[in-house]
Amino acid sequence: MARKSKDKEQAMDASRNGMMADAAAPAQEASGGGVGRLLLLLIVAAMLAMVLSKDVRSKVLDMLFGSEEEFDYSSTTMPATDAPVGAAAS
């Protein structure tokens, strides 16, 4: 008879320990996400800065794809003559 009560006590202790471990697990998971949250916050802030600021957007695009090339467009053709519209060319 003493054996049965001892088994019951062990089973109850194991059950209590299992419940305590289950209750403690979510608290540990919730407090361990500091680095992930910080990284997510930085990504969201960077995206907002790119959307809202033209200067930031152009700097990021310049870093990714290189700066825009600027060309000096100078005409190498002759200027147009003042011929009347509809006049036949000779």
39-63 pLDDT per residue, tens: 999 999 999 999 999 999 999 989 9
**pLDDT, position 86:** 67
Kindly report the backbone phi and psi dihedral angles of residue 70, in degrees, each rounded to the nearest multiple of 5, phi listed first.
-110, 125
Amino acid at 13: D
Amino acid at 55: D
Is the predicted pLDDT of residue 69 greater than 60, yes or no?
yes
**pLDDT, position 40:** 95
